[in-house]
Structure 1
Amino acid sequence: MFILSLTYIKSPDEADVHMEPHMTWVKEGYAKGWFLASGRKVPRTGGVILAIGDRAAIEAHVAADPFTLHGVAEYDISELAVTTTVEGLEILKR
């Protein structure tokens, strides 16, 4: 599993300018079966996406995020080897 932690390097107002295409990009990640959960950080300094799949493919997808392309946010991608989950979240062990 991967934790995609994005941090705004521009203002939230600048992020809002690119939010609609960013959300289209997020939906593509869900449609490809990579994204499992996503949301904003509190306070609003960026966001987090939980993902599964091939690291190279996910990194390429991150590079195509409008937030990345327009210099709105930077991503930190951490891989987590999930060994234990509650019932129903076994997909995280991929």
Structure 2
Amino acid sequence: MFVVLLNYTAPIEEIDYVLPDHVEWLAKQYEHGHFLASGRRNPRIGGVIITRPMLRGKLDALLATDPFSVQHLAKYEVIEFSPTKTAPELRIINEALAS
């Protein structure tokens, strides 16, 4: 699994202009089953995405299609981790990782 930290590299006015496209992109990733959670960072300096398990190359390819990436408005820090304990709601994901 991955935690992706988005760090805005442009003024918030530029971010807000592209935000509807980014939200549409996020919706597509959820439809395809790639993401588990996402949202704004506080303070509003970027965002956070928690992904389902996938190959790192696939994640990199997905992130490259984010409108924030395409328009060079954000940089991404990708943190890979292997969950060893999860809440009951996420247990099925953790069990899938163990197999």
- Residue 29 of structure 1 and its aligned partner are, at CA, apart by 0.9
Task: Write the letter of the residue equivalent to 1:62.
Answer: L
Q: Identity rate of aligned residues, in percent? A: 37
Number of the residue aligned with 2:51: 51
Consecutive unaligned residues in structure 2, runs of 5 or more: none
Consecutive unaligned residues in structure 1, runs of 5 or more: none
After TM superposition, where is structure 1 displaced by more than 3 Å over at least 4 residues in a row?
none
Give TM-score, length-normalised by structure 2.
0.89
Give TM-score, length-normalised by structure 1.
0.93
Paired with 2:59 and 2:24, the residues of 1 have a C-alpha distance of 16
Structure 1 or 2, whichever has the larger Rg, is 2
Number of the residue aligned with 1:24: 24
The answer (yes or no) to whether the contact 1:38–1:49 under 8 Å persists in 2 is yes
The SS at the match of 2:4 is strand
Residues 52-71 of structure 1 aligned to structure 2 (within 5 Å): 52=52, 53-71=54-72
CA RMSD of aligned residues (A): 1.1
Number of residues paired by the alignment? 94
- Residue 87 of structure 1 and its aligned partner are, at CA, apart by 1.4
